Amino acid sequence: MKVRLCNLALCFTQHLVYNSSIRQYIIHLRPLSLTMATESTEASATSACASDCSCDESSSLTVTSRRKKIKGTGNEILFVDRLSQLAEISNDNVQLVVWPTGDSNFLRALANPSIPAENLPTFEGMVPALPKLVAEIIKKHIYLPYALRSRPNVLNEEEATELSEHIDKLVQQFADVAIQSGFMDGNVDGDVDEIPFVHVKLQVMTTDGCRFWHQDSVPFRLVSTLRGPCTEWVPPEFSTTTLKRKNHDSKHAQSMKLGDVALFKGRGDVEAKSIFGHPGIVHRSPRIEGSGDARIVLVIDIPQQGWHFD
């Protein structure tokens, strides 16, 4: 099997070759291009709403994070202790699952305010949910053995490895939940042709992004802020009132903490005109435009044709 994988700065082919003597597939990565992204620095450091966002264009808010389990019929918010517990998002009663990861070397390094936004690591691409391969792909993108003046390494090799392996684990867990929930085909333990792919985006944001309260038109989405102010959300019981005032601050707003890994339930494939009365966490990007802050946000999605690939 031969798959062509591309991202903003690295394009390569992945060859899965079966070795009969050890009865395993051996993975070979062959670089095709190491050219830098053609997009300008300014464009790569800004963001508009994603195509699946239900908000539209039309005072800053201070929020705090509550570390507890919030229950209600169909409205459960879970803060869990283990990565594997993100699978709780498959429960119809659960709208949000948060795994607090705590401190890490790469989070401390990325928080350095002296790093210009244009030098912060980014990545976007479809990756196969194969353990260790995702880490190899990400690390090849965010860390160069020989630093270039046009692309300095902001993470040392140890930090880049830690971040890459962290994303690798999240990809495996996300793919497993998506497959078990019936939203994605594939089997990481089966035939090589059944290996699932997910979409990974490590994005630098210096604008407000999805600044209005909204729900995502996806079954669920993994979001984690690795630098800067974090994603804001409201408990489900306040979804309708918040959506009706989507341009305004909410006294019910909560905020993720840096490094939190969150699985947000979306409203699925729902017509844009039907905004209210659907499951899905109402959330928004923090308003940072003009503040000088630069956020790094990791998003993992179930690939959608016409959106992530043709």
- Please, is 221 exposed, middle or buried when counting C-beta atoms within 10 Å of its C-beta (0-12, 13-18, 19+)? buried
Highest mean pLDDT among 140-149, 226-235, 269-278: 226-235
pLDDT of residue 178: 93
User: What is the secondary structure of 54-85 as a DSSP string?
Assistant: ----------B---S-B--TT-EEEE-SSGGG
Question: CB of 266 within 8 A of CB of 216?
Answer: yes
> What does pTM read for this prediction?
0.75
Nearest to 252 by CA among 293, 282, 216: 282
Residues in Cβ contact with 57 at an 8 Å cutoff, skipping those fewer than 6 apart: none
Name the E strands within the chain: 2-6, 11-19, 24-33, 76-79, 94-99, 123-128, 197-205, 220-227, 232-234, 254-255, 261-265, 282-284, 295-301
| Structure token digits, residue 158 | 């140890």
Residue-wise pLDDT tens digits, 191-245: 555 778 999 999 999 887 777 888 778 899 999 999 999 999 989 888 778 778 8
How far is residue 99's CA from residue 224's CA, in Å, rounded to a whole number? 10
Residue-wise pLDDT tens digits, 85-122: 999 999 989 999 999 998 899 999 999 999 999 999 99
Give the least confident one: 154-163, 176-185, 196-205.
176-185
